[in-house]
Chains A and B, each alone.
Chain A
Amino acid sequence: MVVDAAATVGIDIPVYCYHQALGPLGACRICLVEIEKMPKLMTACTTAATDGMVVHTQSQAAEKGRRGILEFLLINHPLDCPICDKGGECFLQDYVFQYGAGQARFEEAKIQRHKEYPVSPYILVDQERCVLCQRCVRFMGEYVGEEELLMDGRGVHTVITNVPGIPLTSPFSGNVIDLCPVGALLSEPYHYRARPWNIEREDTYCSQCPVGCSSSVTGRDGQVVRLEGRPTPGQWGWLCDHGRFTYDFGAHPTRLTEARLDGEPVTVGRAAQVLGQRLAAVVREHGPDAVAVLTGGSHTVEDHYALRRFADEVLGGSRAGLVKPVEADLPLALLGTFAELDQSDTVLLLGTDPYESAPVVHLALRENVRRRGLVVKALGDRHLLRDTLAGEEWVVEPGGMAAALAAATAGVSEHPDARLAAEGLAPADESLVRLGQALMEPGALTVLWDGREQDLAPALVALARARGEHPTRVLPTFGPRNWLAAARVGIPTDYETSRRILMDAADGRIQVLLLWGADPVRDFPDGDLAARALERCPEVYFGGVFPPDGAELLAGVLPTAAWAEEAGTYVNMEGRLQTGRGAASAPGQARPTRNILQAVARAYGTPLRKLDEWDPYEGTVDDRLVLPPLEGSVRPVSPPPAAESGFRLISGLEVALTHDPSEVAARTKEDRPARMHPADLADLGLLTGSGPVELSSGDRSFRVGVRGDPRIPRGRVFVPRGLRGVPINRLGGIAVAVRAVEEVASR
């Protein structure tokens, strides 16, 4: 289009309705330009640029056209810029200032409409300010595929609204606030909170899932008050609402803001001193193996570097590991990128529904399907495809994904590793052979995987080797957000390392356990082991932002600074380094991890030297981790667990539920996190389609709210992992009994 061609040579043609992701429409007509040999002014956003075309953007005719359009747009537009949230960052203001007339000629009364009409708990529409560019309607209806906004009425009476009683519920709805070029779609949580000239607006990356969406954080008076999407080359700047509206987690009431020793509040300096002295005494007496460090993968790369050096240099070689909510390890050699996803011919969703685990990746998939016919396949223990993302799917028994993938690969490929991985498994049936054929198609394959089932790692390596020269890439959709930061600084990220650390802590071989942002009781797949470790280890210290499960067992707590409170580097699911700046200040006594560890190191007697001179980007290629080669042998995949009667437990990761505690995002937080097939709910007597149930296995049980979801196969209960108060990692087996229980009134 002419407007894009102009942009490539640095000429800015004003647009409202046009957005490259949405395609041309020609609704607002602000982009009028004069094109030689064309009789009238043309819209630059709908006219394709051709060879030899001569376009005037500054001619008298073009300027007159723009001025006229702006005059029309302003006919019913209120003059309330001084109280408008968008005032100062509004394209209508900018273009009128630049191109518009100084004086309005319209003397009649302006049409009055809704000023603060809520279309969702997060979004207000000011219908008077709307220029009817339709970006929001088209984004929701066409791009996201969830038609929740509509144009109501006709002509001058047209307004943007929702169907009465049906608010926007899409997790992508917040993007319409960013897309709105004027002050019509407003963020309710940001409404009347700040003006552009008294805020700090800094480049950052979202902190809530490993996608690491580029964004801008707005701080005012030391507090984060807003998060917006930020387009970067190759990315549109979309955010999901779970990330966008969780920006206030740093100010949440449960946030750690003071240090504690044995439950008593102390200063951070005092806590660091005691910890340093204790560590020194323990290492003197029992050696460095009596101390271990577990990171939760939420702190920055710089913090992880300090942690790594603290374990190596101060403690003299103590073990370190990562607590993650899944049991499998990704062969890092297979780590893919979003650019590779955009080039892939086939995508396999492996146990993960990106809409839930990495929402913006769902949008990328959908765009690739719409734009260039990307083929989507899914293999999972539940239905992973949705109305907005079509493809072909294979639903297997719980725990049977690895066996299915290995058998499917071996059913089509003669590669020795494919054979080895499938050794002892039943041969692929017709359906799995079809899956194997789809996965062995030439061209590039990208697998999205949520890290469940340890045996999927060898099955994926076998698939990659069987595919030979055709690229096979894996994008891990599991958290924690910054787990690859541990990989960057050399902290082992595998399940086995952290399991052994917890075993040793539970067996009394570790005297001091240092948890840095780690919440093993909640997140570690073997929750019982983690609980035993916390109970039996003589001293457990915790540094982080939110208290972990079992906080009453901690010997000491150190509050650390969180995202947006300092500049720091993160590594996203592609292995890409991203440095975000700070826009707020850490509350209370919270300090950057590096400062706390340095204070502990001093008390220990071995200060860390030159901590700040390290460059996280050193040795990276294109800002990405350097990946190891794919090596090692493939082991046979275990056969799937035998089918049992009764309900079976399946799980997954959902950003909507596991994001940091937030008062803003709590507005739409689901309080019935478990899901079952509606028919199963009806059989349990939950005829309203939801309610509390008790899940039990052996002598373990817990209560959880459940709701109906036809995408869960019958006979299965889906419970998300890593959720406070929902200890799915302590139930043991996958066979569970489900019983409806009385609703207890909370009032």
Chain B
Amino acid sequence: MTSEELGTGGAPEWNPEWASWAAAAREEFPRAQSALMPFLHRVQTDEGWLRPEALDAAAHYLELPRQYVESVVSFYSLFRTEVTGHRTIHVCMSLSCALAGSDALLHNLEEALGVRVGQTTPDGAYTLLEAECLAACDLAPACQVNLRYVGPVPPERFQTLLEEEVSTREDA
């Protein structure tokens, strides 16, 4: 879509606040490429994931090719392009955690939630993801709930993860 087609207000499914967030990112990082990530993080913090419309908006407000935005979003694994649950659980799969039983922990979580890793429960409560080394071997098996560290979580105590307090998405 060209800027002419979109106008300044954007498409109806765009959050009206995006324009000001983009402007704020642009103020902090005058180079459009540099402003892209802060803007995307802010949108993801707000909505939990990046809708295609958000990528359109990023390209539009920051005057970047839509292709460039797509490329950046796909490069970083912490940018989500699928609907994310209220609680996002990352389980570290790297060496120390694996030795401490992260495999079994992940398996238990899959059983309890009825989803496979990478998926979100139908009620939108939980998203279950693997993580590469979280640099927290002292907490092995280490996990994150909405990016906040939790651990050690022995496989049989998976329930603590599901009950972890989260207030709003702003914590994430």
Instruction: Tell me the A residues contacting B by CB distance below 8 Å.
Output: 141, 147-154, 162-164, 166, 678, 689, 710
Contacts and interface: CB of A to CB of B under 8 A. Distances in A.
Given A678-B4, A710-B4, A149 B74 contact: no
B66 interface: yes
B4 A152 contact: no
Given A150-B70, A153-B75, A154-B74, 20 more contacts: A147-B65, A147-B68, A148-B67, A149-B67, A150-B67, A150-B68, A150-B71, A152-B70, A152-B71, A152-B74, A153-B74, A154-B75, A154-B76, A154-B77, A163-B67, A163-B70, A166-B66, A166-B67, A689-B5, A710-B4
Contact of B71 (A151, A678, A689): A151
Contacts of B70: 150, 152, 163
A349 to B, nearest CB: 22
The SS class assigned to the A binding surface is loop
A711 to B, nearest CB: 11
11 contacts: A141-B65, A141-B67, A147-B67, A150-B67, A150-B71, A152-B71, A153-B75, A154-B77, A162-B67, A163-B66, A689-B5
Nearest to B77: A154
B-side interface size class: 10 to 19
Nearest to B65: A147
Contacts of B5: 689
Contacts of B77: 154
Interface in B1-22: 4-5
B35 to A, nearest CB: 18
Nearest to B69: A163
Interface in B52-75: 52, 65-68, 70-71, 74-75
Contacts of B68: 147, 150
Contacts of B71: 150-152
Nearest to A147: B65
Contacts of A164: 52
A43 to B, nearest CB: 23
Contacts of B52: 164
Interface in B103-131: none
B80 to A, nearest CB: 14
A453 B4 CA distance: 32
A147 B76 CA distance: 20
Contacts of B65: 141, 147
A148 B4 CA distance: 19
Interface in B78-106: none
A390 to B, nearest CB: 15
Contacts of A141: 65, 67
B168 to A, nearest CB: 30
Q: Which of B68, B70, B76 has the most CB of A within 10 A?
A: B70
Contacts of A163: 66-67, 70
Contacts of B74: 152-154
**Which of the listed residues A152, A164, A678 has the most CB atoms from chain B within 10 Å of its own CB?**
A152
Nearest to A161: B70
A152 B70 CA distance: 7
A164 B76 CA distance: 18
A320 B52 CA distance: 61
Contacts of A152: 70-71, 74
B77 to A, nearest CB: 7
A13 to B, nearest CB: 30
By Cβ-Cβ distance, the 3 closest A-B pairs, closest first, are A147-B65, A150-B67, A150-B71
Nearest to A140: B67
A458 B67 CA distance: 47
Nearest to B67: A150
Nearest to B66: A163
Contacts of A150: 67-68, 70-71
A154 B67 CA distance: 15
* Listed residue (B70, B71, B74) with the most chain A CB atoms within 10 angstroms of its CB: B71
Residue among A150, A151, A689 facing the most chain B CB atoms (10 A cut-off): A150
B29 to A, nearest CB: 20
B37 to A, nearest CB: 15
A8 B87 CA distance: 62
Nearest to A166: B66
B116 to A, nearest CB: 18
